[in-house]
Amino acid sequence: MRTQVGIIGAGPSGLLLSQLLHLQGIDSVVLERRSADYVLGRIRAGVLEQGMVDMLRAAGCSERMDREGLVHDGFEICFGENRQRIDLKKHTGTSVMVYGQTELTKDLMDAREAAGAAVVYEAEDVQILDLDTDTPRLIYQKDGTEHEVVCDYIAGCDGFHGISRRAMPESVLKEHERVYPFGWLGILSETKPVADELIYVNHWRGFALCSMRSMTRSRYYIQCAFDENLEEWTDDRFWDELRVRLPGEAAESIEMGPSIEKSIAPLRSFVAEPMRHGRLFLAGDAAHIVPPTGAKGLNLAASDIYFLSNALTGFYADGRTDLMDSYSEKCLNRIWKAERFSWWMTTVLHRFPEQNSFDRGIQLAELEYLTTSEPAQASFAENYVGLPFE
């Protein structure tokens, strides 16, 4: 098989890139090692920056999001007896869209299928060959047969555990990482959200977050030990711990119910540089990871794909190579600012096992300053809604 762009991974990054290239008349093949149902079964992010919303609209995949998504103009931060709303709309003129990653991935899958796209699910043992030639190849196993895709370029959209980053020469690749000493225990339940907007909580027992997927489907998280045993967390134990950490009114009014999904996610900050080597481009989680506190993971994939789709379009339409040459630097400039913001939110809102009274005093001072200073809230808001794609 021959294509212009070989894409590894059918998560949001790979599918969005494939759809945007298609609209520019650029051919791609997407190789995904899991089944479509497995990809959709992963419960991930839920808050879209305006940049991602705009990308989905440009990709012609926004009809359901615009119908079912929830536009949020702000959210609350709670600590001790303090509850402060951060007014995103007032400080930035923009909002965020609450719409599950599962839903937007389904919308992208449906668009690719409607276009008759070559998205190969359950493509096993994908390998990148001849990367240092003008015709790099992808080979994979499917139904007991080896298949080959000869490409002009390869987009590594295969997430943190994928193969693309490992195809970068060790002499070239630099990795930067911070692993946090806790995780997030999250549940999904068919219950009415406790509030109309998100609630982030810094409690002395640990972080908590009240989110949602719709006005009938709630998403809650509590900070837990990174090596917590999920089987020891019954629904009742989760609800009890969540209610201890919530402000009194919310704890009293929250609607509880059976979990339809329950999982523990580790928290990590990670950046791989550069994001291009010859004809290989890394995008999304393949190149970077943020702790979910700032809701940046999915939205960083959007800006990577914005820069990459423009670079590939510039090449095929006008023979330009400058956008390819600047791809990595442009992505990383925005990625590091999102890494900083996500690290800061995580540091301020979580209970660190080793933190002493001075550390706790600094956390409370950070939160007190944020919740009482308009300029501080304006700076926080512009980071939360997403810095420009520039």
What is the chain's Cα-based Rg?
Answer: 21
* Cα–Cα distance for residue pair 116/390, rounded to 1 Å: 32
Nearest residue to 47 via CA among 212, 255, 281, 200: 212
Q: In the annotation, is 121 catalytic? A: no
Window 203-242: contact mask with ligand PHB (x via CB under 6 A): ------x-x-------x-----------------------
* 157 lies in the binding site for ligand APR (CB under 6 A): yes
Write down the catalytic residue from 220, 247, 292, 316. 292
Q: In the annotation, is 296 catalytic? A: yes
Q: How many residues bind ligand APR (CB under 6 A)?
A: 28
Q: Which does 295 bind (CB under 5 to 8 A by kind): ligand APR, ligand PHB, none?
A: ligand PHB
* 297 lies in the binding site for ligand APR (CB under 6 A): yes
DSSP-derived secondary structure for 152-217: SEEEE---TTSSTGGGS-TTT-EEEEEEEEEEEEEEEESS--SSSS-EEEEETTEEEEEEEEETTE
* 95 lies in the binding site for ligand PHB (CB under 6 A): no
Give the residue closest to ligand PHB by C-beta: 46
By beta-carbon proximity to ligand APR, the closer residue of 44 and 192 is 44
Query: Is residue 25 left, alpha or beta, with left meaning phi > 0 and alpha meaning psi from -120 to 50?
Result: left
* Nearest-10 Cα torsion for 339, 310, 325, 151: 110
Write down the catalytic residue from 203, 296, 330, 350. 296
Q: How many residues comprise the chain?
A: 390
User: In 3-state terms, what secondary structure has residue 43?
Assistant: coil
- CB of residue 162 to ligand APR, shortest distance in Å: 4
* Cα–Cα distance for residue pair 177/286, rounded to 1 Å: 13
By beta-carbon proximity to ligand APR, the closer residue of 295 and 349 is 295
* Cα–Cα distance for residue pair 149/4, rounded to 1 Å: 10
Q: Which parts of 298-317 interact with ligand APR (CB under 6 A)?
A: 298, 301
Binder of ligand APR out of 23, 27, 34, 351 (CB under 6 A)? 34
* 62 lies in the binding site for ligand PHB (CB under 6 A): no
Select the span of 37-45, 146-154, 249-257, 314-322 touching ligand APR (CB under 6 A). 37-45
Place of tokens 């009938």: 216
By beta-carbon proximity to ligand APR, the closer residue of 184 and 238 is 184
150 class by beta-carbon count within 10 Å (0-12 exposed, 13-18 middle, 19+ buried)? middle
Kindly list the catalytic residues.
Answer: 72, 200, 292, 296, 384
Residues that bind ligand PHB (CB under 6 A): 45-47, 198, 209, 211, 219, 292-295
